[in-house]
Structure 1
Amino acid sequence: MIICSCNVLSDQDVRSAVDAKRTRSISQVYGCLGCRPKCGHCARAIRRLMDEALGSACASCNGCARSSES
């Protein structure tokens, strides 16, 4: 599914960038994908995808401070 129509970024593109680089900000995602934000309408969707990807990675990590909080 296309998440960013300005840069034609799919949800898979965003997930791949997060998985590969463990990006922590939307601007880092754009940088990893070789583009820049334009209109900004996709920011919430990108943040949601980042949270999902990082949340699932964190849940599977044994030494993470976040997973010991739960």
Structure 2
Amino acid sequence: MIVCSCNVFSDHQVRDVLANSSGVRSPGQVYRCLGCSPQCGRCARTIRAILDQVHGSCSDCPVECPGAALSTKLVAAE
């Protein structure tokens, strides 16, 4: 799925960055690894959710956590 329509990159590209670059922990670092910068910023939340999925930091999140809800939606969309 397209994550950023301004810079035109997908969730697969974000996951590739996370798999191939150690220490990437923020949306800003993902943008830099992809050779771009945020434009409107609407995709930062989705990038954060992918980061949380990959790094497992949302595993202990309560159900009412917005990040956990977004992560669940992203997993369902795959």
Shared topology, TM-score over 0.5?
yes
Q: Please give the alpha-carbon distance, in whole angstroms, between the structure 1 residues aligned to 2:37 and 2:51.
A: 17
Bigger proportion of residues as helix: 1
The amino acid of 1:18's aligned partner reads L
Q: Which runs of 4+ in 1 moved over 3 A?
A: none
- For 2:13 and 2:3, the matched residues in 1 are separated by 9
Deviation at 1:55, TM superposition (A): 1.4
CA deviation profile, 1:37-69 (whole Å, cap 9, x unmatched): 00000011000001111119xxxxxxxxxxxxx
Provide the C-alpha distance between the structure 1 equivalents of 2:13 and 2:53, rounded to a whole number of angstroms. Answer: 14
Query: What 5-or-longer segments of structure 1 have no aligned partner?
Result: 57-70
**Could you state the TM-score of these two structures normalised by the residue count of structure 1?**
0.75
Percent identity, aligned pairs only?
Answer: 55
Q: Give 1:20-59 correspondences, 5 Å limit.
A: 20-22=20-22, 23-55=24-56
Secondary structure of 1:3's match? strand
Matched, 1:4 2:27: no
Structure 1 CA distance for aligned equivalents of residues 17 and 55 of structure 2? 11
Task: Return the TM-score normalized by structure 2.
Answer: 0.67
SS at 2:56 equivalent: helix
User: Which has the higher Rg, Structure 1 or Structure 2?
Assistant: 1
Return the offset for 1:21: 1.1
Q: How many residues align?
A: 56
